[in-house]
Amino acid sequence: MELLIIGGVAFWYWTLVKGRLTSRAFAYLMVYANTASQDAANAKALSMGFMEASDQARLARAFADEFFDGKQLRMIAAARQAGFRG
């Protein structure tokens, strides 16, 4: 029983971290597209907490669906290739 609870908590935490990373990568790409500044884009993306990332999660998923065939990890990789440090 304890193992099931630990596994459930670990899965929940992993999805929370992945969701925040997806939202941060989305924010980075949006700011970078508008300013062409990696520093400004990273400052915005890395300042996002869980609540702000949660607010942008739907937009980030829609963006990944439209431009990255729904692959969030591909979007994160593209952001990192463009200079995202998250």
* pLDDT (tens digit per residue) in 3-13: 889 988 888 88
Tell me what the pLDDT averaged over the chain comes to: 93
Q: Is 32 contained in some domain?
A: yes
State how many domains the chain has.
1
Judge whether 63 and 26 are in contact, CB under 8 Å.
Answer: yes
Between 8 and 77, name the one with better pLDDT.
Answer: 77
Q: Is 31 contained in some domain?
A: yes
pLDDT, tens digit, 9 for 90 and up, residues 28-42: 999 999 998 999 999
Which range marks the domain in which residue 42 is found? 2-81
> How much helix, strand and coil, in percent to the nearest 5, is found in the chain?
85, 0, 15
Angle at CA of residue 31, ends 21 and 39, nearest 5°: 85
Judge whether 54 and 42 are in contact, CB under 8 Å.
Answer: no
3-class DSSP state of 19: helix
- What's the pLDDT score for residue 13? 84
Q: Is 7 contained in some domain?
A: yes
Q: Is 57 contained in some domain?
A: yes
Q: Is 86 contained in some domain?
A: no
